[in-house]
Structure 1
Amino acid sequence: MDLPLIWSVLIATAVMLYVLLDGMDLGIGILTGLAKSDDERNLMTATIEPVWDGNETWLILGGGGLFAAFPLAYAILMPAFYLPVLLMLAALIFRGVAFEFRHKAVRKPTTLFWNGAFFGGSLVAALSQGLILGGFIQGVTVEGRQFAGGPLDWLTPFSLLVAVSVAIGYVLLGACWLVLKTEGEIQARARRRALFALAGVAVCFAAVSLATLSIDPRVTERWGFSMAHMEFEKLLPLTPIPLAGLVLTVLAARDLMMKVGAPDWRPYLFSAGIFLSGYLGLAVSLFPNLVPFDVDIWEAAARDNALMLMLVGAVIMLPIILIYTGYVYSLFWGKVDPDEAYHD
C-alpha cells in the first residue's frame, strides 16, 4: 500500500473542497463591497451564514494533514510562506469577527467599519492564498533539506498574477452561489457580476497556465511541448484537461446569460468544474513534487506506521465530516427569503 500517495490524494482533496466551499463564501465577502444597500448585503451574507464556519474545516484538514503526514515538506514550506500565511490567518480571524459584529453595530460609522472589515478580510484572505499558491508553484530555495531562501521570495510578478486570479475565481464562485440562492434584482446583478468574473477567470487562467509553463523546463516536459518542439504522444492525452475547462467556461457563460431555462444551480457547478480542471492541470505540472522541484511525496512523508495510524482515523472521520457537510447544505437548500434574512 502506497501510503504517501494515499495521503497526498487526501490532502489534495481537502484543499480542493476548501477552495470550492470557502472560496465561495470568500467571494461573497468580496462582493458585499458592491452591495447596493445594507439589506442586499444582509441577504448576501444570509446565503452563507449556516455553512461558512464548516467550510473552513477543510483548510484545517489540509494544513494539519500536511504537518502530520509530510513533516519535511511542512518544515520547508512554512518558513518560506510565514508572511502570507500569517496575513491569511489574520484576515480570516478578522473576517470572522466582522461577520458577527456587523449585525451588532448600531451607529453608522461602526456599521461601515465592520462591513468594510468583512469585505477587506475576505479580499486579503483570497489574495494571500493566491500568493501562497503562486510562490508554491514557482518553487522555493532548498539546501540540505531546509528552506534557504529569503522572507519575500514568494513575492514575484507570477505570484501576484496568481493572487489576482484566485481572488477573481472566488468572486465567480460567490456570484454563482448568489445566482443559486437569490431571486429578482439581486440575482440579476449576481448574473452580471458572474459574467464579468468569468471573463476575468478565462483571461487569468490562460495567463497563469502559460506563465507556469515558463517556470521550469520540467513543467513543459510534462506537457510535451516548448518553443522548440512538440511531443504529441505526451500532449494529446492531457488535452482533455484544458479542453474541459474551455467547454465549462462556455457552458457557464451560456447559462449566466439565459434569463430562463437554465437551472440556477448549474453555473456554480460549471464554475467548480473550471476550478477542478485548473487543479488537475496543476497536478499534472507538479506531481509528485510536494516542494517544487526538490522534494517529492515519498521523500517528505512520515514513517509508514504513523501514516497508517492516521489513515485509520481519517477513514473514520472523513465520511462523518462529508455526511455532516452534505446534510447541512441539503438542510438549507433553496432560495433565501429576503423577509427571513437577518436584520438588526
Structure 2
Amino acid sequence: MTPFLPPEWLPVVFAALMAISILAYVVLDGFDLGVGILLPRVAEEADRDRMIAAIGPFWDANETWLVLGIGLLLVAFPAAHGIILTELYLAVAIMLAGLTLRGVAFEFRAKADEPRRKRRWDHAFVAGSLAASLSQGWMLGRYVLGFAEGPAALAFAAMAAVGLAIAYAFIGATWLIWRAEGALQRRAIRWARSAIWPMAVGILLVSVVTPLVSARIFERWFALPEMLLLAPLPAATAGLLLGLGSLLRHMPLPGDALRRLPFWGAVALFALFFAGLAWSFFPYVVPERLTIWQAASAPESLSIILAGAMLVLPVILAYTVLAWRVFGGKARELTYY
C-alpha cells in the first residue's frame, strides 16, 4: 500500500499526535488529579462534594487522552513501546491501579448513604490520585535521565514524582478558583499561592538536569544560533510564573473572566514545559537509543493507522469540548448523578 504522505513524514506526524495526546492528558487529567490531592485539605462534607462536582463531568473524558497516547505509542512505535514499558512497568502498574481506584471511589462515593462511608471513599479517591500523580512524575524523571540507574537517578525520579504532584495540585487549585465560589474559592487561592513556587523550583531543576544528562541536548540548548531562537521559551516561563504569582496575590478579583486566568496560565506553563522537553528529546522517542524513524512501524501500516487516528481524534476532542460546554458553570450540588 502506497502511503498518502511521504514515508519519512509519517513518524513525525505520529510523534506530533502522540505529543498532543500526552499534553492534553497531563493538562486535563492533571487538574482533576490535583483536586483529588487537595481533597484532604477540606473538612466540610459540603465543600468536598463541591470539589468532586467540579471534576465530575470531566474526569472520565480526560483519561481518554492517556489511552490515545499509549495506543499511538504501541501501534506507531512498537519497538519504543516495548522498551519504555519494560523500564517503567512497575510505575505504570501503580498508575493504572491508582486510576482504577479513583474511578471506583468516585462512583461508590456518590452512592454512600452515610457520611462515614463517604469519607472512606474520599480516602480512596485521594490515595488513587496521589498514586497516579507520583507514578507519572517518577516515569517523567526516569525518562528524562534515559532510564539511568543508581542512587542519583532514583533521587531525581523521586524529586520529579513530588514535583509533578505539586504541579497537579497547583492546576487543580486554579481549576477550583474558576469553578468554585465563596469560602472554597478563597481556599483554592491560598492553595495555588502555596504551590506555585515549589512547582517553579521543580521546573527549574528538570530544566537544568535535562541538558546535563546529554551532550546532544546541551548543544541543542546552548549552541548558537539555537540558543537565541529558544531564549523566548525560558523567558516566557519565568514571566508567566511571575505574572501568575502577582495575580494570585491580588485575588479574589471581581468578574468570572479574571477567575479563569490562573487556570489558563497554568495550562500555558504546562505547555511551555512540555515544549522544552519535546525540543530536547526530538527526534528520539527513547532517549539516546531510538529515534522515531528507527522505532516506527512500516509506512504501509502507519498510513492505515493514521486514517483511523484521523477519525478517532476529532471524536475525542468533540466529546471533551461538549462536556466543557454543557457543564461549564460553577460547581454546586452533585445533581448530575
With the length of structure 1 as denominator, give the TM-score of the two structures.
0.90
**1:15 pairs with one of 14, 22, 26:** 22
Q: Could you say which residue in structure 2 is the equivalent of 1:325?
A: 320
**Would the aligned equivalents of 1:18 and 1:56 in 2 still touch at CA under 8 Å?**
yes
Between 303-312 and 314-323, the greater mean CA deviation after superposition:
314-323
Residue 260 in structure 1 maps to residue 267 in structure 2: no
Match of 1:309 in 2: 304
1:246-285 paired onto structure 2 within 5 Å: 246-258=238-250, 259-261=252-254, 263-285=258-280
Q: Does 1:61 align with 2:54?
A: no
8 Å Cα contact 1:130-1:162 kept in structure 2? yes
* Aligned residue pair count: 327
Secondary structure class of the residue paired with 2:259: coil
Q: Secondary structure of 2:307's partner?
A: helix
Deviation at 1:264, TM superposition (A): 1.0
- Equivalent in the alignment of 2:191: 193
Unaligned runs of 5+ in 1: 142-149, 225-230
Q: Does 1:28 align with 2:28?
A: no
Which of 227, 230, 241 is equivalent to 1:235? Answer: 227
Cα separation, 1, equivalents of 2:25 and 2:325: 18
Matched letter for residue 52 of structure 1? W
> In structure 2, what is the Cα distance between the partners aligned to 1:268 and 1:29?
16
Evaluate the alpha carbon distance shift between residue 236 and residue 7 of structure 1 in structure 2; reply closer, same or farther with a 3 A threshold: same
Residues 175 and 194, structure 1, Cα contact 8 Å, conserved in 2: yes
Equivalent AA in structure 1 for residue 196 of structure 2: L
8 Å contact kept, 2:31–2:171:
yes
Q: Which has the higher contact order (CA 8 A, sep 6+)?
A: 2
Residue in structure 1 matched with residue 117 of structure 2 by the alignment: 110
- Deviation string 1:106-136 (CA, Å, 9 cap, x unpaired) is 4455333211110011011000001111111
SS in 2 for 1:27: helix
Deviation at 1:342, TM superposition (A): 5.1
Question: For residues 157-215 of structure 1, what are the alpha-carbon distances to aligned partners after superposition, in whole Å with 9 as ceiling and x for unaligned?
Answer: 11111111111110111000001101111101101101111111111111121122222
- Paired residues for 1:207-226 under 5 Å: 207-224=205-222
Contact 1:140 1:153 in 2 (8 A): no
Compared with structure 1, are the counterparts of its residues 155 and 109 closer, same or farther at alpha carbon in structure 2 (3 Å cutoff)? farther
- The answer to whether 1:125 aligns with 2:132 is yes
CA shift in 2, pair 1:297/1:154, >3 Å: farther
Deviation at 1:35, TM superposition (A): 1.1
Quick one: distance in 1 between partners of 2:319 and 2:22? 18
Q: Of the candidates 327, 334, 337, which is equivalent to residue 341 of structure 1? A: 334
Residue 26 of structure 2 aligns with an amino acid whose one-letter code is V
Sort the Cα spacing of 1:297 and 1:211 in 2 relative to 1 into closer, same or farther, 3 A: same
Q: SS of the residue aligned with 1:139?
A: coil
Q: 2:28 & 2:290 partners in 1: Cα distance?
A: 29
Shift of 1:103: 2.6
Whether 1:167 and 2:144 are equivalent positions in the alignment is no
Conserved in 2, the CA contact under 8 Å of 1:28 and 1:171? yes
CA distance in 2, matches of 1:274, 1:185: 27
- Write out per-residue CA displacement over residues 278-329 of structure 1, whole angstroms, 9 at most, x where no aligned residue: 1011111111110001100000000011111011111122112212211110
Q: CA deviation at 1:13?
A: 0.2
**Structure 2 residue aligned with 1:52, among 59, 82, 105?**
59
Q: What amino acid sits opposite 2:307 in the alignment?
A: V
Range moving further from structure 2, 202-211 or 9-18: 202-211
Alignment RMSD: 1.9
The Cα of 1:154 is off from its aligned counterpart by 11
Does 1:70 pair with 2:63?
no
Q: Which runs of 5+ in 2 are unaligned?
A: 1-5
Residue 257 (structure 1) shift: 2.2
Q: What is the one-letter code of the residue matched to 2:62?
A: N
Deviation at 1:153, TM superposition (A): 9.3
C-alpha change, 1:103 and 1:323, in structure 2 (3 Å) is closer
TM-score (norm 2): 0.92
Q: Is the 8 A contact 2:174 2:192 kept in 1?
A: yes
SS at match of 1:290: strand
**Aligned with 1:103: secondary structure?**
helix
Q: What secondary structure does 2:35 align onto?
A: helix
* Partner residue, 1:227: none
The answer to which structure has the higher helix fraction is: 2
Task: Report whether the alignment pairs 1:85 with 2:92.
Answer: yes
> What is the one-letter code of the residue matched to 1:250?
L
